[in-house]
A = this chain, B = another copy of it.
Amino acid sequence: MIRLDSRTPDFDQALRRLTDWDAGLDPAVEATVRDVLHAVREQGDRAVLDYTQRFDRLRANSLAELEVPRAKLREALAGLAPADREALALAAERIRSYHERQVAESWEYSEADGTRLGQRVTPLARVGIYVPGGKAAYPSSVLMNAIPAKVAGVAEIIMVVPAPGGELNPLVLAAAELAGVDRVFTIGGAQAVAALAYGTETVPAVDKIVGPGNIYVATAKRMVFGRVGIDMIAGPSEILVISDGQTDPDWLAMDLLSQAEHDEQAQSILISWDADCLTRVAASVDKLLPTLEREAIARQAWDSRAALILVRDAAEACAVADRIAPEHLELSVADPDALLPALHNAGAVFMGRYTAEALGDYVAGPNHVLPTAGSARFSSPLGVYDFQKRTSIIYASAVGADQLGRAAKRLAEGEGLTAHARSAAYRIREGQ
């Protein structure tokens, strides 16, 4: 953990160092993934089965054997402890209700000469969702990825989740059932991404692949981008908390640690104009760290990537936050609405002392798949809009084609594109 002070001359540079995160591409990983993609594209099921046996110690005679029957999803949901089932159902319902407000509608308008222009919005036909297996299998991630697709109207959702040694998390299967996932295959890694991108005899090709994964999965997604759509390649998770010094330091410390426990690269930043607040929270973190199940991970993240930043006032806190463009921004202040106009770059804003980031991770409703590593400057949370696409509609009436054609012809001639000009000119009425 480092402490920074905006009054020091090297603050700008220190801030840049703090937040500079470059995914970097690993050539060895790239080479491996390239081979996997090629093999699956050429050999289909056979290659997927081979890799699954090799990497996940999961043997099967056919890929069909690796499909989880729908009945098993229903059983998983029915078999949950009631408190788990209720919590998951509440989350699913709230996520659905929030995302329904994101649905875009088609529109069209007409001009005086009968020309019509519009934008048609349609759902993607088939989407693949990657869910990491083993211990990092998060049911919340299934809900957050599948529900927006369902709300968008995607006809078929194919989920892939590796089951190393055959082990599957029933919460993940239950979440798939609740979210309306259509088919589930227990495959993972680059081979699962390849199967979804190219299709095999058994796994249908999809139009887009979303969901988090390790470096092999991320590299595979990057490589198949273009043939299919992908979501953002996520960096390590980050939280930035702005505090006015009036929130219980244990609350702030635990909020910061809830990022740090994700992985060793996760980043927790606290900004305040109250120096004592920073000191108190640092002490709380030291006190609370040993009480965490994932202490080792959280401690490494805290030691290597956390920062406590002292600024002059609330305005400067917002300016620094805006520059960092954090994935999660917690405004732990008396009047968070007052700060909002000064903030432009964040994946999600958690307003006020009561809105722990963890609420947003699970049940508040908005998506927890958020832009990381400063990409909130130009990108958005995962949403229904990621599963809808637009098509422009242009209908030129005979009169419209005449008038527009004259301008189009002129512009095409200016660009030296004769066929464009003449194609427009054919629709210009003679003698005018």
Stretch at the interface among A3-11, A58-66, A67-75, A250-258: A250-258
Main secondary structure of the interface of A (DSSP, over half): mixed
User: Is A271 an interface residue, CB under 8 A from the partner?
Assistant: no
Q: Are B258 and A347 in contact (CB under 8 A)?
A: no
With both beta carbons as reference points, the residue of chain B lying nearest to A98 in the complex is identified as B117
Known A-B contacts A140-B411, A395-B336, A408-B362; the reply to A357 vs B423 at CB < 8 A is yes
Please report the C-alpha to C-alpha distance between residue A392 and residue B257 in the assembled complex, in whole angstroms. Answer: 22
| Segment of A160-168, A309-317, A412-420 engaged in the interface with chain B | A412-420
Binds B, one of A48-56, A183-191, A275-283, A379-387: A379-387
A133 within 8 A of B: no
User: What 0/1 pattern do residues 206 to 231 of A give for CB contact below 8 A with B?
Assistant: 01100000000000000000111100
For A411, give its contact among B88, B98, B226 (CB under 8 Å).
B88
Closest residue of B by beta carbon distance from A257: B419
Contact of A254 among B122, B207, B422 (CB under 8 A): B422
Closest residue on chain B to residue A389 by CB atoms: B380
CA distance A308 to B313 in the complex (A): 68
CA distance A422 to B23 in the complex (A): 31
Known: A117-B364, A392-B349. A140 touches B415 (CB 8 A): yes
Q: A101-B119, A351-B393 are in contact. List 11 more A-B contacts (CB 8 A).
A: A140-B411, A140-B415, A229-B378, A258-B420, A292-B418, A294-B416, A348-B394, A354-B397, A361-B420, A362-B411, A380-B389
Q: List 22 A-B contacts (CB under 8 A).
A: A23-B226, A98-B117, A115-B364, A171-B415, A207-B378, A226-B235, A227-B374, A260-B419, A294-B416, A354-B397, A356-B424, A358-B405, A358-B412, A359-B401, A359-B408, A361-B420, A365-B394, A366-B394, A370-B392, A378-B389, A380-B390, A385-B385
